[in-house]
Amino acid sequence: MRTAILASGRGSNLQALIEACKTGNLPITIVGVGSDQLGVEALKRAEEAGIPTRVFQVGDYPHRQAQEDDLLIWMRENKVELLLLAGYMRVLGSQFIRQANFPVMNIHPSLLPAFPGLHAQRQALDYGVKVSGCTVHIVDEGLDSGPIVLQEAVPVLSGDTEESLAQRILEVEHRLYPEAVRLMVLGKVKPTGRRVQILQQEGLG
């Protein structure tokens, strides 16, 4: 499946997806990595893996819609069948989502619907929850609000800082995102409204 990835920063989830492709665990072809930021680590990781990259800096466009229109043109040119957000720090607008004729997935570092938006790990610590985690979801027109594909819980420990909790969640993200994408491309993800059924492999019930 021809897949584009959008990332704004470090790109560790991008790296996990690249690695899963290399080991044959993830049947996608990453046809391009786009970013709204110049010179970020995610772009370097893509270049090292030989994946074409493109920068779509919002400041280069008259308005946000023009940036998203350009993203869509790039994806159409590349015949994209799946878009993965991997730390893309902008919310895609309704028009983009409506016009995208491919599924869009995202990973978020909390158990949604708790703590959407920025600094999810800090929000979890500030709230005092004992368990947080991460969520892979289908992107809809809201903020971290689309149907949930997979979630995994991660304990919050008493001595946790934002960094230590983020790191513990990140280790799970790197496993959960490739797994959710794998299920999606194998046709095992069946959304009905908000509820997403995961079809099990034969024999596993």
Residues that bind ligand GRF (CB under 6 A): 7, 9-13, 86-87, 107-109, 170, 173
Return the number of the residue (10 or 90) whose C-beta is nearest ligand GRF: 10
Task: Taking the CA atoms of 176, 178, 184 and 186 in sequence, report the sign of the dihedral they define.
Answer: negative
* Rounded CA separation 182/174 (Å): 13
Return the number of the residue (3 or 12) whose C-beta is nearest ligand GRF: 12
Burial class (CB in 10 A: 0-12, 13-18, 19+), 184: buried
Q: Which residues pair with 196 in a beta bridge?
A: 191
What are the structure tokens assigned to 7, written together?
């990332």
Return the number of the residue (101 or 172) whose C-beta is nearest ligand GRF: 172
Cα atoms in the 13 Å half-sphere on the side-chain side of 75: 26
Least distance in angstroms from the C-beta of 110 to ligand GRF = 9
Least distance in angstroms from the C-beta of 200 to ligand GRF = 26
CB-nearest residue to ligand GRF: 87
What are the structure tokens assigned to 88, written together?
């893309």
137 in active site: no
Least distance in angstroms from the C-beta of 170 to ligand GRF = 6
Catalytic residue among 63, 108, 119, 174: 108
